[in-house]
Amino acid sequence: MDYSVLGTLAARDGEIDRTPSAPKLRRVLATLLLRANKLVLAETLAEELWQDNPPTSATATLQTYIYQLRKSFGSDGRDRESIIRTRTEPSGYVLSADPDHLDLVRFQALVREGRHALETNRPERASEVLHQALDLWQGPVFGGVVCGPVLQCHATFLEEERMNALEMRIDADLRLGLHRELVSELKTLVVAHPLHEWFHSRLMMALHSSSRQGEALDVYQSYRRRLRDELGLEPGLAMQRAQQDILNSTLQPTF
């Protein structure tokens, strides 16, 4: 089985789509996939489905959902049981998944490798694997799922992981001297994240290193105005130093 959560939720068995269509079954599947091959407590699933107000029939209803999920995964009862195993002490379920067939696990492994490559001064390898990691995202996490509190919390965390991976990939590309190639992407990012100082500072670096000092200084002034108007704040010291370095034409990017 191949599973996807970094975009539209999907479970595929070769060419056969095994993704459940019922909203609550999709929520149960997504919650199990978050901790694939590990125990997910029944109370965690109940919190996702009913928050703080589970029905008196919650245990039986959850057992029915698990049965329906197993049924959707194929016709062989023994195979279905092996995909989602029931644990009684403590009560919960374990969804068995090959790590190579779950996009979330692959993403996290590639990000770890990319971070290590950056830390050991191998930007080319870091750029390669971080590009691979980010390519696994096909849209907002848990697409097509109406998320309860458990999934919503993890969605926020995973989006932060995605952002961190993007920042590391940009740093790796800057170390490789790909300043001109990054300008368009960084311009798009500062529009999408107008108060994200890191993106603005990297855009300044990319423009300056592309002999576009005037545009780099415009980025600083535009960001400073927005920050003061909306939050009453000044840019951070690192960005102020970057501006001063550009003014002095002595910018030496550090990472």
CATH at 194:
1.25.40.10
The predicted model gives 150-170 an average pLDDT of: 97
> Does position 167 have pLDDT exceeding 70, yes or no?
yes
pLDDT digits (tens, 9 = 90+) for 69-118: 998 886 555 466 678 899 988 999 999 999 999 999 999 999 999 999 99
Which residue, 72, 97, 122, sits at the end of a domain? 97
Segments forming the whole domain that contains residue 86: 2-97
106 in a domain, yes or no?
no
SS3 93: strand
The whole-number pLDDT of residue 252 equals 53
37 in a domain, yes or no?
yes
Which residue, 82, 97, 112, sits at the end of a domain? 97
The alpha carbons of the chain give a radius of gyration, in whole angstroms, of 23
pTM confidence score:
0.89
The predicted model gives 115-130 an average pLDDT of: 98
For residue 197, count CB atoms less than 10 angstroms from its CB and return exposed for 0-12, middle for 13-18, buried for 19 or more. middle
143 in a domain, yes or no?
no
Listing from the earlier edge strand, what are the strands of the sheet with 92-95? 39-41, 92-95, 84-87
Q: Which residues of 214-247 are buried (b: 16+ CB within 10 A; e: fewer)?
A: ebbbebbeebbeebeeeeeeebeeebeebbebbe
Partners of 143 in the β-ladder: 8
137 in a domain, yes or no?
no
187 in a domain, yes or no?
yes
Confidence of residue 248 (pLDDT cuts 50, 70, 90): confident
Distance from C-alpha of 125 to C-alpha of 127, rounded to nearest angstrom: 5
pLDDT digits (tens, 9 = 90+) for 197-208: 999 999 999 999
pLDDT digits (tens, 9 = 90+) for 38-80: 999 999 999 999 998 889 999 999 999 999 999 888 655 546 6
Determine the Cα angle at 156 with ends 151 and 162, to 5°. Answer: 120
164 in a domain, yes or no?
no
16 in a domain, yes or no?
yes
Which residue, 71, 97, 123, sits at the end of a domain? 97
The whole-number pLDDT of residue 255 equals 43
Contact partners, residue 167, CB within 8 Å, separation at least 6: 198
Q: How many domains does the chain have?
A: 2
- Asked if 23 and 31 touch (Cβ cutoff 8 Å), the reply is no
212 in a domain, yes or no?
yes
The whole-number pLDDT of residue 72 equals 87
Which CATH number is 70's domain given? 1.10.10.10
For residue 113, count CB atoms less than 10 angstroms from its CB and return exposed for 0-12, middle for 13-18, buried for 19 or more. middle
